[in-house]
Amino acid sequence: MTPIQLSTLIKQHALELGFNACGIAQADYLDTEARRLEEWLNQDRHGSMQWMERNFEKRVDPRQLLPGTKSVISVLSSYFHPDHITQIGQSHTPQIAKYAQGRDYHKVLKKKLGALLDFIQEVTGHVQGRCFVDSAPVLDKAWAVKAGLGWIGKNSNLLNKQLGSYFFLGEVLIDVPLVYDTIETDHCGACTQCLDACPTDAIYEPYRVDASRCISYLTIEHKGEIDQKYHTDIQNWVFGCDVCQDVCPWNKHAQLARFTDFHPREKVVHWMEHSRDHLSDEDFNRLFEGAAVRRATYEGFQRNLDIVHQNLFS
């Protein structure tokens, strides 16, 4: 089987599995991204995410993760749902980022990527490969760009003409050469809507984000008390933040999530629309069973909810 035949089969099967898009890049050292990451870390833009400082070489060279890697297969999977449209601009109820209103994406996508790798092994006879879904030091947005799946927007998110940015990313590394896709050009133009809308000015200049100021970081990754100066800016975001995505013109093209596990859970939407009460530990675990929200922990979620209630109801 020729590289072009195998590449075509891989992309076709990725779509058959339910992914919205698939692209392929040649595995290599990410020289430009390495310099940018080093600068970002040296400026302490990563806040308390010390894990970003570890495994630097693995982050910028996938061959350190799987020796002999020749190709990086990237996939996009939409999590958008029509119910999300009614949530945009809601300011009077607690809000959870859209991606976290369904089932935790890690398990869903890892299983699907495993099926894609199994397919590759079946049609090739033998191939070494590994699957990744935000679970290892992989610069997934950089590889998606190199695979022709979009460009990095001014809010540092990956943007895609057909999907916007409401999607998850995943990768399969394999040790066989394939046909590689062409890099997409930047289509942000003169637009600055994401910079203008960011509540905490975390997007301090185009294409540059200070994670330590980002509401998603503050409500998920940050441990301990949140600095009082951010309380009002957090507004009603109890887990994550979608502001820079909601204002992005490219998200007018968002496509429906093909995996129903990513659709908003009715009980979560109901809680956002009607809750003014604190949750017990038991209620929290029941409400967000199998959801990414549990990453914040019960204590962290309650911390966030205290701030949101103060903003909304005091």
Rg of the chain on CA atoms, in Å: 20
Helical segments of 176-274, H only: 193-197, 215-216, 231-234, 243-246, 266-274
* Selected catalytic residue, list 134, 175, 261, 306: 134
Is 28 assigned a catalytic role?
no
CA 291 to chain centre: 14
Contact 22, 14 (CB under 8 A): yes
- Cα separation, 121 vs 181, whole angstroms: 21
| Six token digits for residue 78 | 């939409």
Q: Where are the beta strands (DSSP E) in the chain?
A: 21-26, 71-78, 95-96, 129-132, 151-152, 158-159, 167-174, 203-205, 208-209, 237-239
Secondary structure (3-state) at 66: coil
Catalytic residues: 134
